[in-house]
Amino acid sequence: MTRIRILPENVANKIAAGEVVERPASVVKELLENAIDAGAQSIRVEAESGGRRMIRVSDDGCGMAHDDALLAFERHATSKLRTADDLLSIATLGFRGEALPSIAAVSRLLLETRAAEEDEGTRIEFAGGKLVGVKPAGLPPGTTVSVADLFYCVPARRNFLKSETTELGHIASLVTHYALAHPDKQFVLKTPTQEIIHATRVDTLADRVYQLFGRAALDELFEITPTSSPMRASITEAELAPEEQAAELIVRGFASRPEVQRANRNGIYVFVNRRLVRDRLILHAIHEAYRNVLPPTVFPAVLLFLDLPPEEVDVNVHPAKIEVRFRHPQFVHDFARDSIRQALSRARPIPSFAGTNAQAAAASAAVTTPVADASVTAPAIAGAGSGLAGPPPAAIPPMASMAAAATAEEFELSTAPLRPEAQRFRFDGGIGAGLDAPGSEPTGEISARETAMAPASAESLAELKPLGQINSSFIVAVNGEGLWLIDQHVAHERVLFEQHLRARREGQLTGQRVLVPLVVELSPRQLVIIERISEELSANGFEVTQMGPRSVAIHAAPAGIAAADAERLLREILDGIERESAAISMDSLQAKIAASTSCHAAIKVNMPLDQAKMEWLLAELAKTEAPMSCPHGRPVVLRYSVREIERAFKRI
């Protein structure tokens, strides 16, 4: 690494400044980032008493020469930045030269370091920001920073810390994130009594997810295989300098199948150039990708990695470096959304019959015994840490049940002995968990339908043979995979939704005139909304005119909608928009109208269907992009696999 220098004042002043150390996890974050920046291959973190008594981070990175080691504790001393221009393309995790002095100011700190090319290492001690000793020492190459008695000289801060378990949970969550971002490095997290994480280096992200969360978690996810786009594809070339025209954005990661539904965003992790960030733009892109696959009030679990040239991202916008600003936000947003959406449409999962029961049992177990089964996971993950050859960590609960079992609140209330393992695998530490101010704990988590699922192919649906209906509402069908139930209403809704949306986008929707115009009374607010969306309404086949101060007349409605239903449909569309915030995107407006229209036009339940109709419906469903869930996110099909049937008959 290049030599450390003190930043000139004009550069230092340009850096987003603020509190660096808020809790033990923030110390771990800074030290981990330093180790990664130093090119370490193996990083070991030790924590005692939730990191209050001791945090030690050891790495095998480039180390520091004696003079550099001393200089590192000056404010704005960094080897990663030279000039104000360098701030425009930051390729390292650190750049402020703030972390070590800030940590040293509020703890007893011991730095032991040796640059590989030096014969001797250096040991430096600080207490409350004061240098208390510098000695040469025989040390292995690399760096170890030990931070003892955090906040010992700042009692107000010390008293703010949460329970040991919570603080350790945040540390575990952080180490987990960095381990995910760097599958090619080894990460170990230990307490005096337990090895919490032991992730040896692996070749793929999938292997890392397996190491950290187990097979069940992996089964809930589908991979977003790397997709890349030259940034110039959508940015006019005039905007880009020649050297920028080769700039590429790469998106990859994992996202949950539609059956996995979370009550909040805590299962979403976004990494930009391997830095965990909290970014509203990307969250929005994720939300958009799942629109009409998940109901609007629930969230997926997503691990998203965006890699792009450093000059395309400004990381110098937040003192804790957890927010970024993109130079071409719209492009990044749309490309991330499309990459997830494409992967999602390929994933095509099916909920199984058995899932409903198993899930109910898992959910209630998680609620009544919050951390009960967590203890079994410790040896399992330690075993898994030695690589995929070891026994699979079968005992690790799937992410969602983990979440249910490991909400922060439960830990605060829990009088049970320390069981950090329940927290450490939670995929849901929350974005930037451990970076937030004390008190902003992640909220509780529920999960709805999920568990046993199997990926389906379009073919497996296309091969379905309908046998009949239950209650004139659910089609019973079979194929080589097993027995299927299809909710005829939502299946038809999915088919119509996609047709409607496609036709709308091609500008080919037509309306159907009603014999007698329908007069509809509206509230002033609804009248304003109708005015705002009038163009879109007519593009969808509506013809609506103002009648009086409070009423409108419907002269035509989208094809397939019975006259009697037209008023209800219009009200539903207006209601849906009223509930949204003021700004609704064109995409989302179109999808809303399509969803409402298809719901009203679809075959109802309690309607007998003949063989030909059932066959037609299943064939049409097989052709849709997301045949497994309706536009409102409800499941369309349930499958009882041959294996489940054999198991139920005790044949296996």
Among 21, 28, 57, 99, binds Mg ion (CB under 5 A): 99
Helix axes 164-181, 24-37, angle to 10 degrees: 20
> What is the number of helices (H) and of strands (E) in the chain?
23, 26
Nearer to ligand ATP, 72 or 301 (CB): 72
Q: Where are the alpha helices (DSSP H) in 221-350?
A: 280-289, 329-347
- The residues pairing with 110 across neighbouring beta strands, listed in sequence order, are 125, 146
Q: Are 136 and 120 in contact (CB under 8 A)?
A: yes
The distance of closest approach from Cβ of residue 57 to ligand ATP in the complex, given in angstroms and rounded to an integer, is 8
Binding at 107: pick from ligand ATP, Mg ion, none (beta carbon under 5-8 Å per type): none
In whole angstroms, give the CA distance from residue 150 to residue 108: 7
**In the window 3-22, what residues touch ligand ATP (CB under 6 A)?**
4
Locate the DSSP E strands across 212-261.
221-230, 248-256
Backbone φ and ψ for 203, nearest 5 degrees, come out as: -85, -30
The distance of closest approach from Cβ of residue 81 to Mg ion in the complex, given in angstroms and rounded to an integer, is 11
- The residues pairing with 197 across neighbouring beta strands, listed in sequence order, are 189
Residues 19-58 as x/- pattern, contact with ligand ATP by CB under 6 A: -----------x--xxx--x--------------------
**In the window 141-170, what residues touch ligand ATP (CB under 6 A)?**
143
Backbone φ and ψ for 251, nearest 5 degrees, come out as: -120, 130
In whole angstroms, give the CA distance from residue 621 to residue 618: 5
Give the contacts of 33 (CB within 8 A, at least 6 positions apart): 93, 94, 99
The distance of closest approach from Cβ of residue 197 to ligand ATP in the complex, given in angstroms and rounded to an integer, is 19
Binding at 597: pick from ligand ATP, Mg ion, none (beta carbon under 5-8 Å per type): none
Residues 26-65 as x/- pattern, contact with Mg ion by CB under 5 A: --------x-------------------------------
The site for ligand ATP, by CB under 6 A, has a size of 25
**In the window 82-101, what residues touch ligand ATP (CB under 6 A)?**
94-100
DSSP letter string over 374-400?
GGGHHHHHHHHTT-TTS---TTSPPHH
Q: How far is CA 260 from CA 267, 290, 399, 424, in A?
A: 11, 12, 10, 20
The distance of closest approach from Cβ of residue 98 to ligand ATP in the complex, given in angstroms and rounded to an integer, is 4
Q: What element of type H or E holds 409?
A: helix 408-413
The distance of closest approach from Cβ of residue 73 to ligand ATP in the complex, given in angstroms and rounded to an integer, is 8
Among 63, 370, 398, 631, binds ligand ATP (CB under 6 A): 63
In whole angstroms, give the CA distance from residue 320 to residue 585: 32
Dihedral (CA of 610, 611, 612, 618) sign: positive
Among 32, 64, 344, 350, binds ligand ATP (CB under 6 A): 64
Coil, strand or helix at 66: helix
Among 61, 94, 355, 511, binds Mg ion (CB under 5 A): 94
Nearer to ligand ATP, 72 or 638 (CB): 72
Nearer to Mg ion, 61 or 295 (CB): 61
Residues 336-355 as x/- pattern, contact with ligand ATP by CB under 6 A: --------------------
The site for Mg ion, by CB under 5 A, has a size of 3
Nearer to Mg ion, 29 or 123 (CB): 29
* Contacting positions for Mg ion (CB under 5 A): 34, 94, 99
* Contacting positions for ligand ATP (CB under 6 A): 1, 4, 30, 33-35, 38, 59, 61-64, 72, 77-80, 94-100, 143
